[in-house]
Copies of this chain bind each other. A is one copy, B any other.
Amino acid sequence: MPTYTAPVKDTRFVLDHVIGMARYANTPGFENATPDLVAAVLEEGGKFAAEVLQPLNQVGDREGCTRHDDGTVTTPTGFPGMYAKFVEGGWGTLTAPTEWGGQGLPWVVGTAISEYMLSANMAFSMIGGLTEGCIASIEHFGSDEQKAMYLPKLVTGEWCGTMNLTEAHAGTDLGMLRTKAEPQADGSYAITGQKIFISGGDQDMSANIVHLVLAKVPGDPDNVKGISLFVVPKFIVQPDGSLGERNKVSVGSIEHKMGLNGSPTCVMNYDGAKGWLVGEQTKGMRGMFIMMNAARLGVGLQGLAQGEVAYQNAVSYAKDRRQGRAIVRAAGVTDVADPIIVHPDVRRMLMDMRAFNEGNRAFALWTALQVDLSRHGATAEEKQAAEDLLALLTPVVKGYITDVGLQVTVTAQQVYGGHGYVKEWGMEQFVRDARIAQIYEGTNGVQAMDLVGRKLPAEGGRAVRLFFERVGQTIADAKADPKQVALAEALEKALGHLQAATMWLVQNAMAKPDNAGAGAVAYMNLMGVVALGWMWLLSAKGAHEVLGNGAEDRPFAEAKLVTARYFAERMLPEAATYRRRIEAGSEALMALSVDQF
């Protein structure tokens, strides 16, 4: 059975030495996040994930969820009890606004903890995983009454939130959705229609479920500009806060999926359910985007989280499993066979995973810091810069980290040989669970289109220029240090490819938009590998700091330097290939007629 230990030491290294959290001590929201408090939260969160959530991960996969005839859903054995402990521990309240009962900790701390929870039990974490986004939407666009009615219980986790966008014929293309919202005399709306792929659409863990639903009011435009956002609770909330009648929303069926079996993916039937408008009519996409952007970062984290737990188990297996002999054996070894960790190709797999996981962790936490700075930055400039970088890199965090995440789980499974393919060993579940992260919250192709078509050209390319400037500055600083120069030069080369590819898109995608679509995924990967290279350069700088201090863990810091070099030697060269793919343009790609396929 797989095991899990939260990588607290590495998280702290990233916070302290890569993104330098101490610099932001005066930023609102960071005052209480003292190093000691953060250390304690990480320790406790890691323990909770490993001891409470992880032991039921395989159980959830095996049992799955059950839909009953009355349209309710039961989660796997132990899940409701686990959720009660989650609420009791206040784990959902970490970053929630203090005004509504949250702890108001920095987003970056919440992200660190989310990684642990997602590693330990991704399916469980998904069931209530959209509550955070639901809180954000209501906080931004809800009326005062709605805030008072829903936020306190969503913050504690007594209630969970969901996100209802997709319909069978309307996935990426939400303009085609058909769910209707008819105004009622009492100011509410009657919601009728069917939504699919709703995570946690029903469950037996929280007392109420707050659905945020996209629907159209009859008469509004029949496209994306006619969509409004509604709050539709499972149980109607009474003026005194108690739960009243059951709303006319139920689960028509649950999907049988490749993985993530512990999380019920529901077909939701709204049959004249009572809903209330959130924000302005026909401006529903704005509220949904708030939710979606938070969710995209969370999904990116899932790629890292599955990669991390898979890696940890692959390391244990590689230390334990004995096959073959080392090329050069240590003196005095007489065993018939050595642990497979001695073999270079097994090392390659472990180093690949390590380089991606640690790089992804730094990247995810750096991005989370931008969330904090975009809200609470010291100056308007700092806020704007963080908002720009966040907008630019959100699709990269989602798309690149989840693509790499699948790759890491596949590699970890490969370390196990035949045992990796057998369910009992648990490695194949990580692959199946990780796979969904490339698909939901907008497929990775959609992320890439968002990056290239929307984020890149926004404000005349302001965000991407800032990104180049920041990465360039780190390179320039590092080149002044003989110990960092090799790494800096490798990143400089990769950044050069990204800049050239960006220029190529600017020059070639305006007149011929197919060129943007044709190169979008390659561009996302190119920006991903440069972002990770940047994180590794910052990590190397951090490791030199640690070694300079002399006080901290030398082998840990030395491993960082080795892994940074490995990433530079093995992964950064991919940048050239991505650039060539982009510059190939769309000609061959679009040349075949539909009939030729």
Cross-chain contact A514 with B258 (CB below 8 angstroms): no
Q: Encode contact with B along A567-597: 1 for CB under 8 Å, 0 otherwise.
A: 0011001101100110010101111111111
Chain B residues with Cβ under 8 A from A581's Cβ?
569-570, 573
Flag if B514 contacts A344 (CB, 8 Å): yes
Which of B256, B348, B414, B423 lies in contact with A443, CB distance below 8 A?
B414
Q: Are B438 and A414 in contact (CB under 8 A)?
A: yes
A94 interfacial by beta-carbon distance below 8 Å: no
Measured between beta carbons, the chain B residues less than 8 angstroms from A336 are 175-176
Q: Are B345 and A592 in contact (CB under 8 A)?
A: no
Given contacts A417-B443, A444-B414, A569-B580, contact A597 B562 (CB under 8 A): no
- Which residues of the other chain, B, contact A197 by a CB distance below 8 angstroms? 418
Q: Considering only CB atoms, which chain B residue lies closest to A516 in the complex? A: B344
Please tell me which stretch of A122-130, A292-300, A429-437 contacts chain B, meaning at least 4 of its Cβ atoms lie within 8 angstroms of it: A429-437
Residues 477-507 of A at the B interface (beta carbon under 8 Å) = none
**Which residues of B are found within 8 Å of A556, using beta-carbon distances?**
596
Contact A323 B171 (CB under 8 A): yes
Interface string of A417-433 (1 = CB under 8 A from B): 11011111000100110
Q: List 20 A-B contacts (CB under 8 A).
A: A171-B417, A172-B324, A172-B417, A176-B337, A256-B422, A256-B423, A257-B422, A259-B421, A410-B435, A420-B439, A421-B435, A421-B439, A559-B596, A562-B591, A562-B592, A569-B580, A569-B584, A573-B580, A573-B581, A577-B577
- Which one, B257, B344, B423, contacts A589 given CB within 8 A? B344
Q: Which of A79-87, A138-146, A365-373, A517-525 contacts B (4 or more CB under 8 A)?
A: A517-525
Q: Which residues of B contact A257 (CB under 8 A)?
A: 421-423, 428
List of B residues within 8 angstroms of A428 by Cβ? 257-258, 435
A166 touches B (CB below 8 Å): yes
Q: Mark A432-462, 1 if CB is under 8 A from B, else 0.
A: 1001101110011100110000000000000
| A521 and B345 form a contact (CB under 8 A) | yes
Find the residue from A173, A318, A350 having the highest chain B CB count within 10 A: A173
Q: Which B residues touch A339, using CB under 8 A?
A: 594
Chain B min CB distance to A582 (Å): 10
Nearest chain B residue, comparing its CB with the CB of A344: B517
Contact, CB under 8 Å: A565 / B590: no
Is the beta-carbon distance between A520 and B345 smaller than 8 angstroms?
Answer: yes
Is there an interface contact between A517 and B173, defined as CB atoms closer than 8 Å?
A: no
Contacts of A475 in B (CB 8 A): none
In the complex, whether A255 has a CB less than 8 A from a CB of chain B is yes
A341 touches B431 (CB 8 A): no
A401 on the interface (CB 8 Å rule)?
A: no
Q: Are A424 and B256 in contact (CB under 8 A)?
A: yes
Smallest beta-carbon distance A548→chain B, Å: 20
Query: How many chain copies?
Result: 2
Report chain B residues within 8 Å CB of A322.
169, 173
Could you tell me the distance in whole angstroms from the C-beta of A168 to the nearest C-beta in chain B? Answer: 9
Which of A197, A324, A581, A597 has the largest count of B CB atoms less than 10 A from its CB? A597
5 residue pairs, one from A and one from B, having the closest CB atoms: A344-B517, A569-B584, A258-B428, A173-B323, A573-B580
* Residues of chain B lying within 8 A (CB to CB) of residue A555: 593, 595-596
- Complex Cα distance, B438 from A139, in Å, reads 49
Select A573's contact among B323, B443, B577, beta carbons within 8 Å: B577
In the assembled complex, which residues on chain B have CB atoms less than 8 Å from the CB atom of A569? 580-581, 584, 588
- A513-B329 Cα distance, complex, nearest whole Å: 13
Which of B341, B417, B574, B580 is A594 in contact with, Cβ under 8 Å?
Answer: B341
- Inter-subunit contact A432/B258 (CB<8 Å): yes
A241 to B258, CA, bound (A): 47
How far is the CB of A520 from the nearest CB of chain B, in Å? Answer: 6
User: B residues within 8 A CB of A418?
Assistant: 166, 171, 196-197, 439-440
Q: Is A566 part of the binding interface, using a Cβ–Cβ cutoff of 8 Å? A: yes
> Is A351 close to B, CB under 8 A?
yes
In the bound complex, residues from chain B placing their C-beta under 8 Å from that of A8 are none
- Cβ A566 vs Cβ B588 within 8 A: yes
Q: Decide if A108 is an interface residue (CB 8 Å cutoff).
A: no
17 additional contacts (CB under 8 A) given A196-B418, A344-B590, A348-B589: A172-B324, A173-B323, A176-B323, A258-B422, A318-B597, A341-B594, A345-B449, A348-B518, A413-B435, A421-B439, A428-B435, A431-B435, A562-B588, A565-B588, A566-B588, A570-B584, A577-B577
